[in-house]
Amino acid sequence: MDSQAHALTTRAVHAGKDDLTDAGLHAVPLDLSTTYPSRDVAAEAARLDAFAAGYDDGGPPVYARAANTTVRRFEHALAELEGAEACVAFASGMAALSAVLLARVAAGLGHVVAVRPLYGTTDHLLTSGLLGNGVTFATAAEAASAVTAATGLVVVETPANPTLSEVDIRALAAACAPVPLLVDNTFATPALQRPLDHGAAISVHSATKYLGGHGDVMGGAVACSEEFARALRQVRFVTGGVLDPRAAHQLHRGLATLPVRMRAQSDGAARLARRLAAHPAVRRVHYPGLDAQARPAGQMSGGGAMVSFEVAGDAAALIGAVRLITPAVSLGSVDSLIQHPASISHHIMGPASRAEAGISPDLVRLSVGLEDAEDLWADLSAALDASLK
């Protein structure tokens, strides 16, 4: 049966594992080889040429920088969940994004149109010029007008980090066509949103976050067409930003519980968002679906597990006062994390760029975990009260 006929929870458990039963295995094997022996030198040379050109026939790898069997399983699984032809995994989310930019620069299409806000380091990478790209920032409505003959990519993050604003993927992709649209899908994950179903060409993840889900593994991934995957594999082959097989093994395991975790964490986030909106120390709450503003129809199946809010008191005092919630950068773990974007995740952008992206100095970002919502609220409300003193 076509796996896409199964429910998402079923696909998440079984993706990338279809051959295990016939192989006499239950758990996904961990391949730690850095090199793969072969007595056929001619065949080895031909396969190495294919890897260097971005092709991967699924056969025995030659060297771990070219391919790894455990990494392949994770890639196949995530591609299935994203509804993509292919997926290419990297050592981190930024390595994944860098590979996309390098591939477009190499194709002579190094101009990027970007819709703010984005993750702070993404914003910094686009403006730094380190990879030879140029960038024009625009609103979603202005993006098509910013496209030039040299534009190779339109970049958006929806829901956005850290304001959780949403962009209509289908409308943006259609307006900017034929330029490919890249969507950073880290916050939503394929459990809540599949950008390629709405016209995007590329879906990028910091797999470190929800895909891993436990704050103990780092990785990145790009879901896309097989044609673009070949370009990405070429970049990965020569730059070496490969995903460690141990990390791939953990990420693949994380996918099995992703829909269940996202459902539970989203429920907790929605409950906290409503409580925050009524607290006197909170001036504004950012959470998809909380207010009456129109949202892209049929794009995201839930509000997600991130909540951002602007405080009336001292944001630093709030962060320092929590006891159950962990004050730390990053997100997507089973335990709740809270941080101040202007000081950490988006600090590298600078005040002017943060203001342009709508990131106020009073904004706090909360990644809601799997703890009981009442316990989280008790900790959060006490910290909010302390922030007003």
Catalytic residues: 65, 119, 184, 209
Q: Which of 166, 218, 195, 167 lies closest to 330, judged by CA? A: 218
Rounded to an integer, what distance in angstroms lies between the CA atom of residue 290 and that of residue 163? 13
CA of 114: how far to CAs of 108, 164, 357, in Å?
Answer: 18, 16, 11
3-state helix, strand, coil in the chain (%, to 5): 40, 15, 45
Contact predicate 55/232, CB 8 Å? no
DSSP letter assigned to residue 35: B
User: What are the DSSP calls for 164-205, one per residue?
Assistant: -----HHHHHHHHTTSPEEEE-TTTHHHH--GGGGT-SEEEE
Rounded to an integer, what distance in angstroms lies between the CA atom of residue 240 and that of residue 138? 33
Contact predicate 318/364, CB 8 Å? yes
Which strands make up the sheet holding 337-339, listed edge to edge?
282-286, 306-311, 363-367, 337-339, 326-327
Taking the alpha carbons of 31, 33, 39, 41 in that order, is the dihedral positive or negative? positive
The residue to which tokens 């790894």 are assigned: 68
Residue 357 phi, psi (nearest 5): -85, 0
The residue to which tokens 């070949």 are assigned: 230
Contact predicate 266/300, CB 8 Å? no
Residue 19: is it exposed, middle or buried by C-beta count within 10 angstroms (0-12/13-18/19+)?
exposed
Taking the alpha carbons of 362, 125, 335, 306 in that order, is the dihedral positive or negative? positive
Within a 13 Å sphere around the CA of 130, how many CA atoms are in the beta-carbon half?
11
